[in-house]
């Protein structure tokens, strides 16, 4: 057996940054048999007490695993934040089962299907409370199930972690160019660490993206706590895309090698050379439906488009007397994401344009 070789772990966590705690810390009731700080290999569940009609003293069960060996960074890995995004859930389950223990240096803290009720239902939002976990941070220990999941991650995991890998896909409503995302921060050094991690993932497309400044996402909370973060978008359409799954497998391993927590041999496939860095940072990137109808897009993913150019049209299928209504791009760039379902109502995002940095 050859000796495992690791990269020197880079600086990953600024612990001087304030960690914003979840609401109502004295109400926390989540429990697990897993010791988050112990060495070794542990696979089990987090239980959040839940008392519906058919399970008076029941719990909601969320899978988790910790693989820890020797000294190195603590990396939090998240899949299934949205239950209809599958590549990350598959890849993290594979890593939990297949990683060779002696090839880890540090601690890998897995949440393969974090919003487990949503994942079991194949939905973006939780059937327990209708909430979107990625709009629920920093969470509330006395809140709904989704808010309690966010609170647990925020207070128990981000307080322990050095880095955070958040694996998303486009979900049921979007089809997105497989890409690694950089969360911009007000700290240039931290943004640089996030950017380096995104490039290490090795996607053919990298994007600075901040969800229009929304701070209720897991990545925004992790960034606020000082962790180095990278997230992904892997195709979507509510299905598993084979090319995106392969990229997600290889990319997750490359980031963990980059952070010095997996040995070099895991980064066997080369990262995409000189992939561009785009940005989606303002409302002008979004083409939004103005009418109810069926949307026809005029451009493919990756196509170059110009501000003022027609993006597509909403067909008025409910009234054949009415002509389609055209939508236009508000900025120039390339088509990054497109709505998947045909039917739109006013307010739906039909297309997202990524612009050059």
Residues near Zn ion (CB under 5 A) are 82, 85, 168
> Taking the complex as a whole, how short is the minimal distance between the CB of residue 81 and Zn ion, in angstroms?
6
Q: What is the dihedral of CA 215, 216, 218, 223, to 10 degrees?
A: 20
In the complex with Zn ion, the residue whose CB is nearer, 174 or 257, is 174
User: Where are the alpha helices (H) located in the chain, listed in sequence order?
Assistant: 87-98, 116-121, 145-152, 188-201, 218-224, 242-258
Q: Where are the alpha helices (DSSP H) in 166-315?
A: 188-201, 218-224, 242-258
Question: Among residues 69 and 241, whose Cβ is nearest to Zn ion?
Answer: 241
Query: Among 318, 312, 274, 327, which residue's Cα sits nearest to residue 292?
Result: 318
Render 67-117 in DSSP notation, one character per residue: EEESS--EEEEE--SSTT--HHHHHHHHHHHH--GGGB-EEEEEETTSSHH
CB 11 → Zn ion: shortest distance, Å?
28
Least spacing, CB of residue 46 vs Zn ion, in Å: 20
For residues 152 and 188, the answer to whether their CB atoms sit within 8 Å is: no
State the residue number with the nearest CB to Zn ion.
168
- Closer of 235 and 261 to Zn ion (Cβ): 235
Considering the complex, what minimum distance in angstroms separates the CB of residue 322 from Zn ion? Answer: 35
* Rounded least distance, CB 171 to Zn ion, Å: 6
Q: Which residue shows structure tokens 């919003």?
A: 115
With the C-alpha atoms ordered 315, 237, 256, 47, is the resulting torsion angle positive or negative? Answer: positive
Q: Which is nearer to Zn ion, 82 or 315 (CB)?
A: 82
* In the complex, minimum distance from the CB of residue 302 to Zn ion, in angstroms, rounded to a whole number: 21
Nearer to Zn ion, 209 or 257 (CB): 209
Residues 46/30, Cβ–Cβ less than 8 Å: yes
Q: Which is nearer to Zn ion, 209 or 311 (CB)?
A: 209
């Amino acid at each position: 057996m050859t000796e495992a070789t690791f990269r020197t772990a880079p600086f990953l966590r600024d612990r001087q940054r304030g960690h914003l705690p979840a609401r109502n810390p004295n109400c926390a009731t989540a429990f697990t048999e897993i010791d988050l700080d112990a060495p070794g290999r542990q696979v089990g569940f987090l239980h959040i007490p839940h008392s519906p009609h058919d399970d008076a003293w029941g719990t909601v069960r969320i899978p988790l695993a910790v693989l820890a060996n020797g000294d190195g960074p603590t990396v939090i890995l998240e899949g299934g934040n949205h239950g209809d995004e599958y590549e990350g859930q598959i890849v993290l389950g594979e890593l939990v089962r297949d990683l060779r223990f002696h090839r880890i240096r540090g601690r890998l803290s897995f949440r393969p299907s974090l919003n487990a009720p949503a994942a079991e239902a194949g939905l973006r939002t939780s059937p327990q409370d209708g909430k979107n976990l990625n709009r629920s941070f920093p969470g509330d220990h006395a809140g709904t199930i989704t808010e309690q999941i966010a609170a647990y991650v925020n207070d128990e995991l981000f307080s322990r972690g050095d880095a955070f890998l958040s694996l998303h896909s486009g979900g049921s409503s979007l089809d997105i160019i497989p890409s690694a995302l950089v969360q911009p921060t007000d700290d240039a050094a931290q943004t640089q660490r996030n950017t380096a991690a995104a490039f290490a993932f090795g996607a053919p497309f990298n994007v600075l993206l901040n969800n229009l400044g929304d701070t209720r996402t897991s990545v925004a909370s992790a960034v606020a706590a000082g962790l180095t973060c990278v997230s992904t978008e892997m195709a979507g359409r509510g299905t598993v895309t084979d090319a995106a799954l392969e990229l997600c497998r290889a990319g997750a391993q490359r980031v963990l090698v980059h952070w010095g927590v997996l040995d070099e041999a895991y980064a066997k496939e080369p990262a995409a050379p000189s992939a561009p860095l785009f940005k989606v940072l303002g409302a002008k990137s979004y083409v939004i439906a103005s009418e109810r109808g069926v949307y026809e897009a005029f451009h493919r993913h990756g196509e170059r488009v110009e501000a003022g150019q027609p993006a597509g049209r909403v067909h008025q299928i409910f009234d054949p007397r009415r002509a389609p209504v055209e939508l236009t791009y508000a900025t120039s760039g390339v088509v990054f994401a497109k709505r998947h379902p045909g039917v739109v109502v006013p307010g739906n995002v039909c297309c997202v344009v990524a612009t050059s940095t």
